[in-house]
Amino acid sequence: VESVGRIFVAIGFPAEVRMAIAATASARLPGAIVPPENLHLTLRFLGDTSQLGLERVSAALDEASFPAPFVIRIGALGAFPNSTRASVVWLGVTGDGDDLAHLHEAVEESCVAAGFEPEERPFRPHVTLSRMRPPVDARSILTGTPSVDVSSRVDEVVVLRSHHGRRPPRYELLERFAL
């Protein structure tokens, strides 16, 4: 079955939120900085997906019970897999995450209903800022970078296709689903 590309479901941000995140957090980070237009919060990565899989997930998202629109706050700097061997530096969601958790559950249920395997890793909501290859010790970056406090209204989820091969990757908006 031919893949239509690497697909993921995410929260996109308005331009002013992306620019605020980029301006505050990306100034002194090592590695490949994620350009402002690519900043997002992944709710579910589906990977290489067939046309049928994409249609099924779209149909399931169309029927999903999403929470009402809500606001998230972004600001806690962190690193994956850890601060001493960081391959990714990210901003986490701060404050009450109940609405975000409900949104993630609805997206996950939609993906499973569409035939995708359940995600085994726990949901760690974050916005990737930079990728490092090879990993670096990011402790001084995490403690030395001023904290960020950006709020964004969440009123839709988007389905994106990732185009790799060039740096940085390009994300193509395929569909929007209102909350």
Residues with a known catalytic role: 40, 126
Residue 14 preceded by cis peptide, ω within 30: no
**Tokens at 134, concatenated:** 């090879």
* Helix-then-strand count for the chain, H and E: 4, 9
> Phi first, then psi: what are they for 40, rounded to 5°?
-160, 175
Alpha helix (H) ranges present in the chain?
15-25, 51-63, 98-113, 139-144
CA–CA dist 99, 111 (Å, integer)? 18
Question: Alpha-carbon distance 42 to 95, whole Å?
Answer: 18
